[in-house]
Amino acid sequence: MKNFDYAVAATPADAVRLVAERPGAAFVSGGTDLLNLMRDCAQTHDRLVDLNGLDLGGVALRGDVLRIGGLARMSDVARHPVVRTRFPVVSEALLASASPQIRNMAALGGNLLQRTRCGYFRDPGSACNKKVPGSGCPAITGENRGHAILGGTDQCIAVHPSDLGVSLRAVDAVIRTRGPRGERAIPFGEFQVPPGSTPERETVLEHGELITSIDLPFSALAGKSSYLKLRDRSSFEFAVVSVAAALELRGRTVKDVRLAFGGVATTSWRSTDAEAALRGKVLDAASIGGAADAAVRGAVPREHNGFKVELLRRAVTRALTDLGGVR
Ligand code: SF4
Structural domain boundaries, residue 274: 220-324
Does any domain span residue 173? no
The pLDDT confidence band at residue 235, using thresholds 50, 70 and 90, is confident
CATH of the domain at 306: 3.30.390.50
Examine the pLDDT at 154 and tell me if it is beyond 90.
yes
Examine the pLDDT at 10 and tell me if it is beyond 90.
yes
The burial class, CB within 10 Å (0-12 / 13-18 / 19+), for 226 is: buried
Does any domain span residue 179? no
Does any domain span residue 161? no
Average pLDDT over residues 264-281: 98
Contact (CB, 8 A) for 49 and 19:
yes
- Report pLDDT for 327: 84
The pLDDT confidence band at residue 40, using thresholds 50, 70 and 90, is confident
Examine the pLDDT at 83 and tell me if it is beyond 90.
yes
Q: What is the pTM of this model?
A: 0.97
Residue in 326, 301, 302 with CA at minimum distance from that of residue 313: 301
Does any domain span residue 61? no
CA distances from 159 to 152, 153, 232, 262, 267 (A): 9, 12, 16, 8, 7
Does any domain span residue 279? yes
Average pLDDT over residues 78-94: 98
Phi, psi dihedrals of residue 171, rounded to the nearest 5°: -120, 15
Does any domain span residue 32? no
Does any domain span residue 307? yes
Average pLDDT over residues 186-209: 98
Distance CA 217, CA 185 (A): 13
The pLDDT confidence band at residue 258, using thresholds 50, 70 and 90, is very high
Distance CA 322, CA 140 (A): 35
Number of structural domains, the chain?
1
Report the separation in Å between the CA atom of 291 and the middle of ligand 1, taken as the mean of its atom positions. 30
Report the separation in Å between the CA atom of 112 and the middle of ligand 1, taken as the mean of its atom positions. 18
For the chain, the average pLDDT equals 97
- Nearest residue (by CA) to ligand 1, atom 1, is 128
Kindly list the protein residues whose Cβ atom lies closer than 6 A to any atom of ligand 1: 116, 118, 120-121, 128-130, 137-139, 156-158, 199
Does any domain span residue 238? yes
